[in-house]
Structure 1
Amino acid sequence: MRTLSLAAATLATGLMAGLFFAFTCAVMPGLSAVDDRTFVGTMQSINRRILNGWFLAAFLGAVLLIGLAVALHLTVGGRVLAWTVAALALYAGTLLITIRLNVPLNDRLDAAGPVDRIADLASVRAAFEVPWVRWNLVRTLTNVAAFGCLVAALLSRRA
């Protein structure tokens, strides 16, 4: 059960790290080259459609699975527990950044309304793009670090 929970936590955390990494190195750089209307409309669409069962299962499942792995390794202690606790702290940072910073930016972008009715698309984009990209990079780093910790925990089980 310990190995299974740790492997599942690693998988879910890796899926989330990959998603955030894809936004960091492909989606947002690609969108930076488009006009304001395309940018705002595309991000509004992505922000609405990402709220689905697959995303939520990985996003929230990761923290639950890491917590389970920590709990199951409490009596064992050692390097596996240390790496898993570090992963939990880092992934908690990812959740905090997402919930406190990226989601409110998403909500403000959505509240601007349909692109056909936004008078100043450039200002809506400017208020969203730079801070969202910055915080996405930070959560990508915390999430990738959490994933790395979980890989180290798995490798420590074999050492």
Structure 2
Amino acid sequence: MVIAVAGSGLMAGLFFVFSFSVMDALAQMPTSEGMKAMQLINRTILNPVFLSVFFGTALACMLVTIISAWQRPPEYGLAVAGACAYLFGGFMVTAVFNVPLNNALDKLPLDAPESNHEWNRYLRLWTRWNHFRTAACILACVLLAIGLT
């Protein structure tokens, strides 16, 4: 449970920073520079530390759900709701929406005629889904923390 709380809090913070500073900064850059920076960020973030926290939190949340449903401790409903908020709102949104957008951006040449349009589309969609996963991870952290007490 502690790992699930800490991990969802870490992911909430990471997503929050992107939603309210990084993406705005990238949007202010010339298209090719902003795209290149985001391509590098997307490649660099796939490191053992990030992947351990991202996947480890999902695993911890699955265990919290299974153990809580089985043992039914006090406040187990909040723990399960928090775990599900991370699994569906943080983990699955990343896998289903943000990662495919990242992969499409990575394939786009910086100097292609359609780059400006695609970059603006990427910024809009990626940030919208990032706001959602930020809120989901904050909710997960709060509910898991309450469930922990």
Q: Does the TM-score normalized on the shorter chain lie above 0.5?
A: yes
What is the RMSD computed on CA atoms of the aligned residues?
1.5
Match of 2:128 in 1: 134
1:61 pairs with 2:47 = no
Gaps of 5+ in 2: none
Aligned pairs for 1:7-156 within 5 A: 7-73=2-68, 74-79=70-75, 81-93=76-88, 94-113=90-109, 115=110, 117-155=111-149
Question: Identity, % of aligned pairs?
Answer: 32
SS of the aligned residue for 2:124 comes to helix
Displacement after TM superposition at 1:82 (Å): 1.3
TM normalised by structure 2 equals 0.91
Q: For 1:134, give the aligned amino acid.
A: R
SS of the aligned residue for 1:77 comes to coil
- Residues 108-156 of structure 1, C-alpha deviation per residue, up to 9 Å, x if partnerless? 000113x2x433431221231100010110111111110111111123x
- Residues 4-43 of structure 1, C-alpha deviation per residue, up to 9 Å, x if partnerless? xx11111111111111011011111222211111110011
SS of the aligned residue for 1:78 comes to coil
- Residues 33-90 of structure 1, C-alpha deviation per residue, up to 9 Å, x if partnerless? 11111110011001111111111111110011122233344324221x1121001211
Task: State the aligned residue count.
Answer: 147
Distance 2:55 2:99 in 1: 14
Rg bigger for which structure? 1
